[in-house]
Amino acid sequence: MSKDRPPGSSPRSHDARHPGVDRACARVSDLLDDFLTRGDAASGDPESDDPEGAPASSRIPPGETPSKISLGEIPSKISLGEIMDALGDRAFGALLLILSIPNVLPVPGLSTATGVPMILLGAQMAAGRHSPWLPRRMLVACFDRKAFLGVIRRAKPWAERVERHLRPRLPALAGPTAERLLGLAVVVLAVILSLPIVFGNQPPALAIALIALGLMESDGVFVSAGLVAGLLAIAIVAAVLLGLGQAAVAVAQQLFG
């Protein structure tokens, strides 16, 4: 990959940049702004965060067109392939962040639809793949556009607060070797996220989001926070499953005594 890595990519040993270089291009809020701009342009939504009131379609970068991520006849839906197109060449961190946000806030019914792709993404990270790939059948999976973009829009103020604390730290925890191990952690957390467990989606989603932020900004502190949150998520889900199992056994004993 080139030294001019697009925003959202996780730095690797052969193209690592000096801390502080191109920081404006790597801002999490910029990522969300760009994603929302493209999503609103594809849906024809005139709403914009531009203080001058310019329509979203007028803010598409030169050389890009709204049709790049448009579903044409189904503007009320946004597909996983459209989401990947909107992120462009950004690597795993950006895609994991976008897919985890609807589960952190959360949006009902998206845990499995977003969790399964994250399982595959984590496996690719563990295998050392440099860019995300999803099968065609998975790319056509659709979500409600208004709900999905709405939750990303709600996440923007939080992202702006969080990014003040993001900076390159403890690079060994966010480097290429660590990224493979983090891929395994993402797989485990995404599996838990995909399960239909009441109140079991937010903890692993938050852990994945923290890991994604750490990878995007080469911040080992956030990666560590994500791993700790992941352990807590596993403990919480294990406790819930244990409680459900004990309740089931108690009910069975009363029924069949």
Q: Residue ranges per domain, the chain? A: 79-247
pLDDT at position 232 is: 93
Are 71 and 43 spatial neighbours (Cβ–Cβ below 8 Å)? no
pLDDT digits (tens, 9 = 90+) for 152-167: 898 888 888 888 899 8
pLDDT at position 75 is: 62
Which of 79-83, 210-214, 251-255 has the highest mean predicted lDDT (pLDDT)?
A: 210-214
Please spell the DSSP secondary structure of 171-225, one letter per residue.
GGGTSHHHHHHHHHHHHHHHHHHHS--TT-SHHHHHHHHHHHHHHHHTBHHHHHH
pLDDT at position 43 is: 59
Please spell the DSSP secondary structure of 41-79, one letter per residue.
HHHT------TT---GGGGSPTT--GGGS--TT-TTEEE
**CB atoms < 10 A from the CB of 185, how many?**
22
Q: What is the mean pLDDT of the chain?
A: 77
Q: For 102-128, what is the mean pLDDT?
A: 88
